[in-house]
Structure 1
Amino acid sequence: MSPITRLATVMLLFTGITNAHFTVEHPPTIGQFNDDTEGDHPCGGYSPDISKVSTTDFHIDGDVIATTLTHPESTWLYRVNVDPTAQGNWTEVWPIFQQSGQGKFCNPQVTIPREFLGKKGFIGIVSHAVDGFLYQCSAVHFVEGTGTKPSDCTNGSSVTTNWVSDDQLTAKLNESTPSTSEQHTPNLAVSSKGGAFQGLGGMLTIGLMVVLGAMMTV
């Protein structure tokens, strides 16, 4: 492999790392996915309103939450809320756990307290990884019974999980959405590691591009 090819490969890999977040396969999420705003509480840059979105049935006796992680490691919080705009008072519905290894993780047995039966609300999925806190939400209708495990409910070959404590994630159960004028300041504080990491990535990528350009002119 030539020096130029090696450098180009490193650039592509580094760019992928700095932009990597997570996606949700089940249940369907609300709003258009935006990688740049996934760090905005409570739903990754989307302002939820349960009266204006379609809901997916989520069975309280056990149903599927499936995600794909593009970081080497993340700690996860699954939470639910029946506030029409997903403001505070979240309920944890699965113990906080850590995923090691990039790729898919599917949990087919997430149960919901019976007090939510018959109500419409949100499932909030929160990731705590190298770039801070990231959020996605699904609008659901909590129904009786057990859900059917979909065929794509699989785990990545290198993925392992274990129970952990994460006080910063636990604090997200009581977090409310800041006002418009305050939205960006808390995000910078929460995602300070990610902001610094992404800023460094941008500078290094530019530097690599300059070096690559110089090499190509030789």
Structure 2
Amino acid sequence: MKFSLLACMASVPFAAAHFKLMYPKSRGFNTDTMTNFPCGGMSQSSDRTKLPLSGGSFPVALEMHHATTAVEVLLALGNEPSDNFNFVLTPTFQVKGLGEFCLPHVEINEKMIGRNLTNGMNATLQVQTNGDPTGGLYACADVQFSSDITYEKPPACTNNTNLVATAFPEAAAKRNANESTAEGDAQSGGSSTTSTSKGAAAPMQTAAWGVLGAAVAGGLAIL
């Protein structure tokens, strides 16, 4: 089954190959507007995914459509953040492989965002990649932190056997994914639609990633 998925994905033309944000629930997916910053051109959703207020982390699940991708996870606080995604939750790293990919524990705490999360606080998560040859691809999820729920692994949080995730060296990790190549170098062409993340890349936790079976230097927490 895994080989059939890989064969199917590999047959998709590069220009049509993107990524999908599977969890938290995405604002939407439009291949024609994914290069538009912020949020791939998708409007704010009234259907916010509730994330646990306690525990200090939540999962982010993706579906990868590029053989090699630079990925970054950003956050903006507030009801309607516009383009102010100034908190780097996961510095830019590399994913090799196609299909399901999950970060089971994306860390968030007061040190990272400069304030305490409160019950009912709204925010928007943005995942951005290097998917466009001279810029980035963007997908957003509108979320709300809640004391009414606890951490739970969503069904979408799985990892395809053939995927490998690797932390970039520090300089490459601090480069926004939409300004990076899949190998962590600076893009030569650049893009007029760039991230507004202002903070330095937050330090990654050290652990292996479940069925990926890869010990990532400065990696993320396992379930």
- State the TM-score, normalized to the length of structure 2: 0.63
- Of the three residues 33, 38, 45, the one matched with 2:41 is 45
**1:62/1:146 contact within 8 Å kept:** no
> Larger Rg: 1 or 2?
1
**1:80/1:92 contact within 8 Å kept:** yes
SS at match of 2:176: helix
SS at match of 1:109: strand
Distance 2:178 2:109 in 1: 20
Q: CA RMSD in A?
A: 2.8
The alignment covers a number of residue pairs equal to 162
Evaluate the alpha carbon distance shift between residue 146 and residue 161 of structure 1 in structure 2; reply closer, same or farther with a 3 A threshold: farther
- Of the three residues 53, 67, 74, the one matched with 1:72 is 67
- Letter of the 2:68 counterpart: E
Distance 1:122 1:96 in 2: 18
Shift of 1:59: 2.1
Distance 1:102 1:13 in 2: 8
Shift of 1:143: 2.8
Spell out, residue by residue over 1:30-87, the C-alpha distance to the aligned partner (whole angstroms, 9 max, x if none). Answer: 1x32101001001001243xxx612111125221100011111111111110141333
1:123 corresponds in structure 2 to 125
- Letter of the 1:128 counterpart: N
Shift of 1:186: 2.0
- Of the three residues 20, 31, 34, the one matched with 2:17 is 20
Shift of 1:162: 1.0
Spell out, residue by residue over 1:129-160, the C-alpha distance to the aligned partner (whole angstroms, 9 max, x if none). Answer: 35330001100002347421123421112110
- Letter of the 1:121 counterpart: A
Unaligned ranges ≥5, structure 2: 1-8, 111-115, 180-190, 196-223
Distance 1:17 1:157 in 2: 22
2:161 corresponds in structure 1 to 157
- Of the three residues 129, 136, 139, the one matched with 2:139 is 136
Shift of 1:18: 2.0
1:109 paired to 2:105: yes
Evaluate the alpha carbon distance shift between residue 47 and residue 18 of structure 1 in structure 2; reply closer, same or farther with a 3 A threshold: same
1:57 paired to 2:50: yes
Give identity over the alignment, percent.
Answer: 23
Spell out, residue by residue over 1:71-129, the C-alpha distance to the aligned partner (whole angstroms, 9 max, x if none). Answer: 11111111110141333252011232110111211111112224233310101111113
Evaluate the alpha carbon distance shift between residue 63 and residue 167 of structure 1 in structure 2; reply closer, same or farther with a 3 A threshold: closer
- Letter of the 2:158 counterpart: T
Shift of 1:171: 8.5
- Letter of the 2:164 counterpart: T
**1:86/1:122 contact within 8 Å kept:** no
- State the TM-score, normalized to the length of structure 1: 0.65
Evaluate the alpha carbon distance shift between residue 15 and residue 170 of structure 1 in structure 2; reply closer, same or farther with a 3 A threshold: closer
**1:128/1:134 contact within 8 Å kept:** yes
**1:63/1:146 contact within 8 Å kept:** no
Distance 2:123 2:71 in 1: 20
SS at match of 2:130: strand
**1:56/1:141 contact within 8 Å kept:** yes
